[in-house]
Amino acid sequence: MKTLRQMLILAFATIAIAATAQQSDPVIASIQDAYKQAKVMMKQNKGMGNELVTKANYTVRGKGKTTETFHFFYNTVEGTYLLDDDGDPHFFYYSLYFVTRSYNIGKQKYYEEFLFDPSSQRLLFALVQDYDENGKRFDRRFYYHEGDLYKVVGPTSTQLNNDHVYYWSEEVRHAFDWIMRNPKE
Total-model pTM: 0.78
* Beta carbons of 51 and 135 less than 8 angstroms apart: no
| Nearest C-alpha neighbor of 123 from the set 93, 150, 85 | 150
The pLDDT tens digits for 48-87 are: 778 889 998 998 888 889 999 999 999 877 665 555 566 6
CB within 8 A of 184, min separation 6: which ones? none
The pLDDT tens digits for 97-135 are: 999 999 988 888 999 999 999 888 899 999 999 988 888
Q: Report the alpha-carbon distance of residue 39 to residue 32 in Å, rounded.
A: 11
Residue 2 has a pLDDT of: 60
Measured CA to CA in angstroms, residue 79 lies from 69, 84, 173 at distances of 31, 16, 21
* Beta carbons of 93 and 80 less than 8 angstroms apart: no
